[in-house]
Amino acid sequence: MIDMTTKTKYPKIGIRPIIDGRLGGVRESLEETTMNMAKNVVKLFEEELRYPDGSQIKCIIPDFCIGGVKEAVDCQDLFSTNSVGVSLSVTPCWCYGTETMDMDPHLPKAIWGFNGTERPGAVYLAATLAAHNQKGLPAFGIYGEDVQDLNDNEITPDVKHKLLTFAKAGLAVALMKNRSYLAIGSVSMGIAGSMINPDFFQDFLCMRNEYVDSSEVFRRIENEIYDKDEFEKALKWTKENCKEGEDFNEKTQQRSRQLKDDDWKFVVKMTLIIRDLMEGNPKLKEMGYGEEAMGHDAIVSGFQGQRQWTDFLPNGDFPEAILNSSFDWNGKRAPYMVATENDALNGVSMLFNYLLTNTAQIFADVRTYWSPKAVERVTKWSPDGIAKNGFIHLINSGSATLDGTAQQTKKGKPVMKPFWDISESEVQACIDATTWYPANVGYFRGGGYSSGFLTKGEMPVTMCRLNLIKGLGPSLQIVEGYTIDLPENVHKTLNNRTDKTWPTTWFVPNLTGKGAFTDVYAVMNNWGSNHGAISFGHIGDQLITLASMLRIPVCMHNIDETRIFRPSAWNSFGMEKESSDYRACQTYGPLYGTN
C-alpha cells in the first residue's frame, strides 16, 4: 500500500541573497551579513513549515550572493535543476535591481528588504518592486515596520508573519503544479461545479484533468482488482470501529441484514479503489495489473455518485469520509481531498485550504440560514452569545472528514490538527463520535452508509468557495467564523427537520456590519453555490495571498484590511483594495495562461 504521504519530490523554497555588486570594499563588507540573512530565513521556514507528509520544508541557497546578472542567471539555473517552486530574495543593502531580480514568470516571488539605516535595503526593495511591476512580474514586498541594526539577526514578528504567509501560499501554488484532478464519473444531478472546466485547471493551477467512468470502480470490485490482504484488514477495522446506527428508513424500505453486511464490504472496497485510482498502488502490479497500479497522480478527486451510481449501488459517503480523514485502518496519514458529487470547484476549494494548513477539510452543503426569529418559533429558545444574530447549518450526506467532529484539542480547545500532531486517543475520539447510519434510500436507492456526527462549538474555522463566472472567470469567496454549540434539544429539533443521519456543523460567520457581512442572512444570501469547504483556523488572509498569486479575484471576504497581503503591483490599480484586485487579476491574467 502506498499513500500521498510517501510523495518525496516536493518543491523547495529558493532563497536569493542579493548584494551590492561593487567590489573593492563594499561587497566584501556585506557578504557575511547578506548570507546570514538568507540563512535566518531558512531557519524560520524549517522551524515553522511542513510538507503534507509532515517532513521538514527544504530550502536551497546558492553558495554565492547575487550582485549582478551573471550570478542571477547562475542562481536561476540552480533553482531550475533543484525543484524550486517558490522564490524569495533577501537583502540588507542597495543592489542593482533589474540585474539581480528573479525573472521567472511562473515562480511566486517576494523580496525582503531589511529596514536598517546603515545600508538602504528598503531602497533596493522599492526599486526592484518597481522593476517587477514595470516588467509585469508581480512580486510581494516585505519590509519591517521598525528600524533594526545591520547586525541584528532577529526576524521581527511583522516580517515573520509576511514571510510565512508568502511561503505557505507559494508552496500551495507549487504543490498543485503538474498534478491532477481526477473525476470519477461525470456531472452529478446537474451541479455546475461538477462540469469540469479544463481551461481553468490548466491556466490557473497548471493541473491536468484525468477522467474515469464510475464503472471503473465497479469493474475493480467485480474483478477483485484491489489488495485483498488490505481489504481484510480494513474490513476488520471497520467492523471494530465504525458503529452502525439506527435504520430510519420505513420498515418496508429497510435492507436486510445480509444486504447491509454486503454494503459494508462494498464501501470498504470502494475506499481502497478510489485511493488507488488517485495515486496508484504497487501491489496491483504484483497482481498483474500494471496499468491500474500507476494511478492518476491526483492531488484531488471527485466521485459523482448521485444518481446513476447510487440508484443501484451503495453510496460513496463512507469512502469519501474516510479518505478525507487523517486516519484509517493503516493509522494516521495525510488526508486525501475527495469532493462529493464530483464538485471539482469545491474540491479545489478544499485543496486550497488543505495546502495552507495540512489539515483535513469539511465538505458541506451551505444548507440553511436560521434566523433568531425562526429558531425561537420552532424551538422556543432564543439564540444568545455569538449565535444571537442567527447561524448557518452546514450539512451534507455523510462525506465530511471525521476530523470535523472536533474531538482533537489544543490547550483545552477543540481543533483540527495535521495528522502528525494527532494523538491515538484523539483518533479514537473522532471515530467514537461518529455513527454510521444506513443510507436514506429515498436519496440512495442502492444503500450504503452515511456518517452522522455533530461538530463541537467554539472552533475557529474558515469557509471558502471557488466559483466560475462566465465573462469573468474564477472568483473566490471567503468567510471566517466559529462553530457553535446549541442546547441539545435545540440541535435535535433543528437537525430532525432535515436528514439527521448526516454530519452537522453549526456555523456563525464574523460580521463586519456592511455588504455581504451586514448580518448572517447576508452571508447566506451572497454565497455563490450549494457547497463550501471548511477549514480549521482563521486562514482567510492566507487564501487571499494564494488567490492573488494565481490571479483569482476575491469577491467576498470578512478579513480586516491590515491582514491582506498581495503583490506590490496591486497597489497601482486603485485605492479600493477589492476593486484593485479585480483589475490586477484581469490585467495579468491566469498565472499559467497564454495572455
Q: How many CA atoms lie within 13 A of 390 on its CB side?
A: 20
Strand segments, DSSP code E, in 286-340 are 298-303, 327-328, 331-332, 338-340
**Torsion angle in degrees (nearest 10) through CA of 280, 283, 288, 291:** 10
φ/ψ bin of 512: left (φ > 0), alpha (ψ from -120 to 50), beta (otherwise) = alpha
Q: Which residue type is seen at 92?
A: P
CA nearest neighbour of 358 among 53, 9, 16: 53
Distance of CA 442 to the CA centre of its chain: 33
**Cα–Cα distances in angstroms (integers) from residue 31 to residues 25, 89, 153, in the given order:** 11, 15, 14
**Cα–Cα distances in angstroms (integers) from residue 268 to residues 2, 72, 153, 232, 393, in the given order:** 17, 53, 53, 9, 29
Taking CA 222 as the corner, what is the angle to CA 217 and CA 224, rounded to the nearest 5 degrees? 90
SS3 572: helix
SS3 172: helix
Q: Cell triple for residue 383?
A: 439564540
SS3 99: helix
Q: Residues near 59 by Cβ (< 8 Å), separated by ≥ 6?
A: 12, 13, 14, 15, 41, 42, 45, 46
* 203, 263, 276, 365: the active-site residue: 365
Instruction: Judge whether 432 counts as a catalytic residue.
Output: no
Instruction: Judge whether 229 counts as a catalytic residue.
Output: no
**343 a known binding residue?**
no
Peptide bond into 583 cis (omega under 30): no
CA nearest neighbour of 110 among 180, 15, 221: 15
Maximum CA extent, the chain: 92
Contact 289/273 with Cβ under 8 angstroms?
A: no
φ/ψ bin of 245: left (φ > 0), alpha (ψ from -120 to 50), beta (otherwise) = beta
* 230, 320, 341, 403: the active-site residue: 341
Q: H helices of 226-343, where? A: 228-241, 257-279, 282-286, 290-294, 317-323
Q: Cell triple for residue 469?
A: 463566472
Q: Which residue type is seen at 438?
A: P
Contact 336/351 with Cβ under 8 angstroms?
A: no
Q: What's the DSSP call for residue 11? A: P
**365 a known binding residue?**
yes
Q: What's the DSSP call for residue 71? A: H
**341 a known binding residue?**
yes
Contact 227/281 with Cβ under 8 angstroms?
A: yes
Other CB atoms closer than 10 Å to residue 594's CB: what's the count?
A: 7
- Residues assigned a catalytic role: 341, 365
- Known binding-site positions for Mn(2+): 341, 365, 531
